[in-house]
Amino acid sequence: MCASGPMNERMDVSEPASISTGIAQRYASAVYEIAKDGKKVKALETDLEGLSDALTKSDDFRSLINSPIYTREQQSTAIAAIAKKMKLSPTMTNTLKLMAAKRRLFVLPQLVQTLRDTIAEDKGEIAAEVTSAKALTKAQADKLAKSLKASTGKTVTLNQMVDETLIGGLIVKVGSKMIDTSIRSKLASLQNAMKEVG
């Protein structure tokens, strides 16, 4: 009996990420097909901007989609009200309601990312994940996008996130490449170097 304990724990830790990604991909491909067929991809992009913003800035919104204390009905009612207030497209609104009914709202961050990647790929663009200690100004974001376009040769869409623990600098991921200029990373390197000296 004891031997199966750690094995189960290990599976519990690693499984959710791949399960979430799989669920998100299924919803994303369905939503994208509906939007594309109805020539509503532009509206979908607007929805994604709003949802991404809410996921970044609202603790209440993140709590609503992740907390198991809310019932299906509470999640459905709340998500319908949020979708109406955000003026989300009918396609996205119905998708979110379905996700709430099936207790799948926790995959929303992956859904947003997958849809963004799908749209970018369809347009011949690439998406870059940019994490900064504080939100980039429009001028900073434009400069970064221009710089990334010069190095990749493609139009780059920035998906921005804020992580105050970085202290300063940026972490930029484009495909499999990652550039980490955060102060947190530099401090960690310095700390490691000091350990080696001592």
Domain segments of the chain: what residues? 16-123, 124-198
Q: Rounded to an integer, what distance in angstroms lies between the CA atom of residue 29 and that of residue 155?
A: 22
Q: Over 70: is that where the pLDDT of 5 sits? A: no
The pLDDT tens digits of the residues spanning 70-108 come to 999 999 999 999 999 999 999 999 999 999 999 999 999
pLDDT at 156 over 80: yes
User: Looking at the domain covering 124-198, what would its CATH class be?
Assistant: alpha beta
- Topology given in CATH for the domain delimited by 16-123: Peroxidase; domain 1 (1.10.520)
Higher pLDDT, 22 or 77: 77
Inter-residue contact 158 to 140 (CB < 8 Å): no
Give the pLDDT of residue 95: 94
pLDDT per residue as tens digits for the range 30-61: 999 999 999 999 999 999 999 998 998 889 99
